[in-house]
Amino acid sequence: MRTSLAVVLAAGEGKRMKSRLPKVLHPVGRLPMLLHVLKAAEAGAHQAVVIAAPHAADDIRRAIKERGLKADVLVQEEQRGTAHAALVAREAFSDFDDIIVLFGDTPLVTQRTVERMREALAEGASVVVAGMRPADPSGYGRLIADGDQLVDIREERDATEAELAIRFCNGGIMGLAGATATDILDAIEDGNHQQEFYLTDAVSIAHKRGLKVVAIEIDADEVLGVNDRLQLSEVERLYQQRRRTEAIAEGATLLAPETVFFAHDTYLGSGVVIEPDVVFGEGVTVGKDVTIRAFSHLEGANLWEGAIVGPFARLRPGAEIGKGAHIGNFVEIKAAVVGAGAKINHLSYIGDARVGARTNVGAGTITCNYDGVAKHLTDIGEGAFIGSNSSLVAPVKIGDGAYVASGSTITEDVPEDALAFGRARQVNKPGRAAEKRKK
């Protein structure tokens, strides 16, 4: 079994992002770009190294750790070009059969591409380049080939008329055989421009040494790079498109796919129906046959089989919606377990709570979970009925089968099967309204 090392270059300046956040930590599908690249790399590679700029290294280390990914972060003290950056990891090169160099700002790269690069190396190539045919090739290095051998990569400013006509361009990703990687990179002379060491020079050097150099072709979208926020939004658009296509292929119904926004980890079971304008934050798992109605926002939520959510529902972290439960319009649920078949259909806030199976929570019910200092639990049993416009002041417990009268403010526990009135009794004064009107 061949071993491989992914080297992810992430020491870009990112000035054009106009942000304090290092460029590669800007999110796509709510996951930092760099971590998309690491995940693609992780699938094919055995170990990953990230090359960071000095000011960004700590933030990058933290982001990697937070998501439970594994990669060493090494610092490139000065940004002297892509070859120079890759060489920061040189100590490790000879321990691996394959070295795959990826860019931290091209988050759409796929695991399949990493695998294909490795296959080419396994078939004897010393250098393999990921080529592409972008609609507009301007700005990209052109791949100069001789039959199926790659001879050189010509950056646009150095290209002749004939070379400029070549549509096959350098996507940036490169694979190097571990045995020759250090020698080739060391030989890269100070490039002609800006005192930079270009990784792309590896191609001509390897070719001149009689080594096998090949290109594979990948989709140009995969290597779309992010240098500013406009490009970030374009990459996000393509990412969302990809996710929608996958969701539909896997059996979800999206009524207006272009209006549904996924996070990188959104999980959809089969038979899910998603109406227009639904937004997923991180950490949402949607069970089989769930319906999410229009204009809902979900984050950190777990929906069990057959639940119906929305329209206009907001599920926040810790929302656990039981089998067949209904969460209706203008309902916000946070850190609450809603039992199977329970209904919370209109205008409610249910936070830090348990709602037992089959319980009905009436319109306008609010859990008063916060006393200004701490959050407290509202525990509602099974088969209970909470009348409309009730305030449940936590900590409070409402027993199984209990009934809370509409308009109650509940501050004390309600025993099982009891009826609780938490409001002033109504008094009718006959004729009083008419008398007032006469005055």
Catalytic residues: 346
Contacts of 128 (CB under 8 A, 6+ apart): 117, 120, 121, 174, 175, 213, 214, 215, 216
Q: Token match 């996507």: residue?
A: 171
Pick from Mg ion, ligand UD1, none: which does 232 bind, CB < 5 to 8 A by kind?
Answer: none
Cis omega (within 30 of 0) on the bond before 107? no
Contacts of 24 (CB under 8 A, 6+ apart): 10, 12, 14, 32, 33, 34, 56, 60, 104, 105
Kindly tell me which of 199 and 215 has the beta carbon lying closer to Mg ion: 199
Please report how close the Cβ of residue 74 comes to ligand UD1 at its closest, in angstroms. 11
Cα separation values, 111 from 37, 43, 218, Å: 9, 6, 12
Contacts of 233 (CB under 8 A, 6+ apart): none
Per-residue x/- mask for Mg ion, residues 292 to 321, rule CB under 5 A?
------------------------------
**How far is Cα 50 from Cα 7, in angstroms, rounded to an integer?**
6
Kindly tell me which of 75 and 368 has the beta carbon lying closer to ligand UD1: 75
Please report how close the Cβ of residue 90 comes to ligand UD1 at its closest, in angstroms. 14
Cα dihedral sign, 246-249-252-253: positive
Residues binding Mg ion: number (CB under 5 A): 1
Q: For residue 225, state whether it binds Mg ion (rule: CB under 5 A).
A: yes
Pick from Mg ion, ligand UD1, none: which does 387 bind, CB < 5 to 8 A by kind?
Answer: none
**How far is Cα 237 from Cα 309, in angstroms, rounded to an integer?**
26
Angle, helices 111-122 vs 33-44, to 10°: value is 40
β-partners of residue 350 are 333
Kindly tell me which of 24 and 214 has the beta carbon lying closer to Mg ion: 24
Tokens found for residue 219:
């989709």
- With contacts defined by CB under 5 A, name the span among 14-22, 150-158, 220-228, 299-307 that binds Mg ion: 220-228
Kindly tell me which of 50 and 347 has the beta carbon lying closer to ligand UD1: 50
Please report how close the Cβ of residue 348 comes to ligand UD1 at its closest, in angstroms. 47
**How far is Cα 347 from Cα 365, in angstroms, rounded to an integer?**
7
Cα separation values, 391 from 384, 403, 423, Å: 15, 13, 10
**How far is Cα 27 from Cα 36, in angstroms, rounded to an integer?**
9
Pick from Mg ion, ligand UD1, none: which does 104 bind, CB < 5 to 8 A by kind?
Answer: ligand UD1
Please report how close the Cβ of residue 184 comes to ligand UD1 at its closest, in angstroms. 14
Kindly tell me which of 196 and 289 has the beta carbon lying closer to ligand UD1: 196
Pick from ligand UD1, Mg ion, none: which does 199 bind, CB < 5 to 8 A by kind?
Answer: ligand UD1
Which residues would be at the binding site for ligand UD1 (CB under 6 A)? 9-12, 51, 76, 79-82, 84-85, 103-105, 140-141, 153, 169-172, 198-200, 223, 225
Pick from Mg ion, ligand UD1, none: which does 140 bind, CB < 5 to 8 A by kind?
Answer: ligand UD1
Please report how close the Cβ of residue 104 comes to ligand UD1 at its closest, in angstroms. 5
- Strand 169-177 and strand 98-103: the pairing is antiparallel
Pick from Mg ion, ligand UD1, none: which does 360 bind, CB < 5 to 8 A by kind?
Answer: none
Please report how close the Cβ of residue 298 comes to ligand UD1 at its closest, in angstroms. 33
Cβ-closest position to Mg ion: 225
β-partners of residue 267 are 285
Kindly tell me which of 64 and 298 has the beta carbon lying closer to ligand UD1: 64
Q: What are phi and psi of 2, to 5 degrees?
A: -75, 150
Binding site for Mg ion (CB under 5 A): 225
